Amino acid sequence: MDVKRRNEKDMKKLMPLAASIALILMASLFASAGSMAYFSDPETSNGNTFTATSLDLNVDYGDINVVKFTVINMRPGNQPKATFTLTNVGAIDGFLDLESIVVTSFENGRLDPEKEAGDITAGNPGKGKGELQDVVNLRLFIDYGGDGWISTGDITFFNGLVNTLPGNFELDEPINFGSTTYITALFDWWSTSNDNLAMTDSMVIDIGFELAQTTGQ
């Protein structure tokens, strides 16, 4: 009897402690939920990333416009190329698209061999009247090694004459924060019978690189 009473007494003694601990545990549960939300690394939820930080893309290690290539004496048989280094310097992952791709041609005056070849568009600079984009082929590829050449695993997303280049590519290529990917533009001027048409002609190529938090933007 005595032992039982004492046990009951001890139990009663412990009750407030147990209740208090239960209360604090319950509070901690919600507090840790809040803490998890507060401290968690950026997580993807349904395509959106919840974060208070930002997304920042660098092209060739900077935020300023990059003039990537200036080829002044392109001839049939030449194969110039340029590799863009695209780095996600923000704090969250992003998806890369190419957009606002614009090719502007210039005639830069017609030389006799051009006329001879049948070039009927004149002008100097003759914006929109050049023929270079009709004879030069372009290959655009995600260049995982960044070596400038199409290697195993690289993804070629365009291969055609420059004049068929679309205005944008929804690549949805993921670039995790802190990571770098490369896109190489490989131009080929394979000799054709129309080459003389393009003599002295030029083309100005503008490319926009968009890093977006979601795909489909």
Partner 1 sequence: MLRGKVKALSLVAKAVLVLVCLVLIIPGVIRLYPSLIGADDSYIVLGGSMEPTLSPGDLTFTEKVETAEIDVGNIVAVKTDSGIYTHRVIEKAESDEGILFRLKGDANEDPDSSYVNGSEIIGKTSFSLPMGYLFTKTGYILAVAAPLMLLAVAQAVKINRLYDTRKRRRGGLKAILLGKGGRRRRKFSILDTTSILLLLILVAGGTNMMAPYFISGGGSFFTDTESSTSNIIRAATWMVSSSITCSASPNPTVNLGENVTVLGSIIPARSGVAVTLTYGWNGTTMTRTVETNGDGAYYDIFTPNEVGFWTIKASWEGDSSYFGASSNIVTVSVSELMEE
Chain residues 56-95 in contact with partner 1, contact rule CB under 8 A: 56-59, 63, 65-75, 80, 82, 84, 90, 92, 94
Binding-site member from 79, 100, 156, 191 for partner 1 (CB under 8 A): 100
When the beta carbons of 45 and 152 are compared against partner 1, the nearer one is 45
Q: Tell me the HSE value of 132 on the side-chain side, using a 13 A CA sphere.
A: 29
CB of 49 to partner 1, least distance (A): 7
Tokens 């083309």 sit on residue? 203
Which residues 6+ apart lie within 8 Å of 77 measured at CB?
A: 189, 190, 191
Interacting residues with partner 1 between 18 and 57 (CB under 8 A): 19-20, 23-24, 26-38, 43, 45-57
68, 84 contact by CB (below 8 A) = yes
Report the site for partner 1 in 186-215 (rule: CB under 8 A).
187, 196, 198-215
Please enumerate in sequence order all residues whose Cβ is within 8 A of that of 168, keeping only pairs 6 or more positions apart, or say none: 97, 98, 99, 100, 101
What is the closest distance, in whole angstroms, from the C-beta atom of residue 143 to partner 1 in the complex? 15
Map the footprint of partner 1 across residues 119-138, applying CB under 8 A: 132, 136
The residue type of 134 is D
Q: Does 182 bind partner 1 (CB under 8 A)?
A: no
Torsion angles phi and psi, residue 25, rounded to 5: -60, -45
Least distance from partner 1 to the Cβ atom of residue 112, Å: 5
